């Protein structure tokens, strides 16, 4: 699977996952809510680290930076 998570999206996912894990660790979330939030945090952390998101692939979304072809001065001048 190709990369489809951009650098900004990656940072947000990792920070959000760590924040959710802190909520669980501090005991603010308990029981079923902690389990659900833990699964979401694990998914966000894994997709942030591996730069691939299954949901983005299903929807056809790609936030990764695409490389632009190198242009020479001839391409810019229109000659």
The two tokens of residue 1 are 């699977």
Gap between the Cα atoms of 79 and 73, Å rounded: 9
**Residue 60 in this model has a pLDDT that exceeds 60:** yes
pLDDT tens-place string over residues 23-40: 999 999 999 999 999 999
- Residue 63's CB is within 10 A of a number of other CB atoms, namely 14
Gap between the Cα atoms of 26 and 44, Å rounded: 19
The two tokens of residue 8 are 């900004």
Q: What is the pTM of this model?
A: 0.78
| Residue 49 backbone dihedrals phi, psi, to 5 degrees | -75, -40
- Domain residue extents for the chain: 7-63
């Amino acid at each position: 699977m190709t990369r489809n998570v951009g650098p900004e999206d990656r940072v947000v996912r990792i920070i959000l996952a760590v924040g959710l894990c802190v909520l669980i660790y501090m005991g603010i979330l308990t029981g079923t809510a902690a389990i659900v939030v833990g699964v979401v945090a694990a998914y966000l952390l894994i997709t942030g680290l591996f730069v691939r998101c299954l949901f983005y692939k299903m929807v056809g979304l790609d936030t990764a930076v695409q490389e632009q072809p190198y242009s020479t001065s001839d391409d810019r001048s229109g000659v």
